[in-house]
Amino acid sequence: MKTILIALVASIGIFGRTTNTEISGTDNFNFTSNTMNFELTIPMDLKNKLVINETENSVVFNYDNPGYPNDVFLFSINKVSEKTWMQLHENIYNGIVLTNNDGFITYSETTKENTLRGKNRDEFEQMLGNIHEIVKTYKQI
């Protein structure tokens, strides 16, 4: 089963594997999830624009969307069992497998597109452009 899963993950074209990189040319802060044991490097100018919700198996990064009552989903880092992964991997948009350890898959998922309307659309669009670079900085701790 594990061999099949590894082959499946390797063969799915929409999923990539990250390499740890640094975000250069800007001041950064390190977000640390002590619950899921990882770090991400995030540009400092995004720090006050993010609403971060952490649970046992997920960290969700939302755009604050100033002046509006609801935050807007940007991306998440999630951890599921291999069995659960097999059931849901085809429905994950812009998924990137980050780790495959001890029967668990840690992956990122990003928003589908900029559906935001109104005065914050341009700022949200700029944030979307940073997501993949942020996810590439994923480091398990």
Query: Is the pLDDT higher at 16 or at 124?
Result: 124
Residues 6+ away with beta carbon under 8 Å from 92: 107, 109
CA neighbor of 107 nearest in space, from 3, 2, 17, 10: 17
Tell me the residue range of the domain where 35 lies. Answer: 2-140
Is the separation of the CB atoms in 77 and 36 below 8 Å? yes
Report if pTM > 0.75: yes
Average pLDDT, the chain: 84
pLDDT in tens, 40-79: 999 999 999 999 999 999 999 999 999 999 999 999 999 9
Does residue 25 register a pLDDT over 90? no
